Amino acid sequence: MIISADATATHQSVITVMEAARRIGLTQITFATQSSAAAGAK
C-alpha cells in the first residue's frame, strides 16, 4: 500500500489509514513523498 498525503492532511488521518491497513492484513506500507518547489528555492 502506498500512502500519499498532502500537507493539509492531519497526522491522525494518516494514522487512521495505517491502522485500517494493518487490520485487513497489509504489512508493507510505503509513504510517497514529494519535494516542495518552495523548499528548493533559496
* 1-42 pLDDT per residue, tens: 999 988 888 999 999 999 999 999 999 999 998 776 655 555
Q: For residue 24, what are the contacts with CB-CB under 8 A and spacing of at least 6?
A: none
- Alpha helix (H) residue ranges in 1-42: 11-23, 37-40
pLDDT value at residue 25: 96
Q: For residue 30, what are the contacts with CB-CB under 8 A and spacing of at least 6?
A: 1, 2, 3
Q: Across the strands, what pairs with 2?
A: 30
Q: What CA–CA distance (Å, rounded) separates 10 from 18?
A: 13
The total number of structural domains that make up the chain: 1
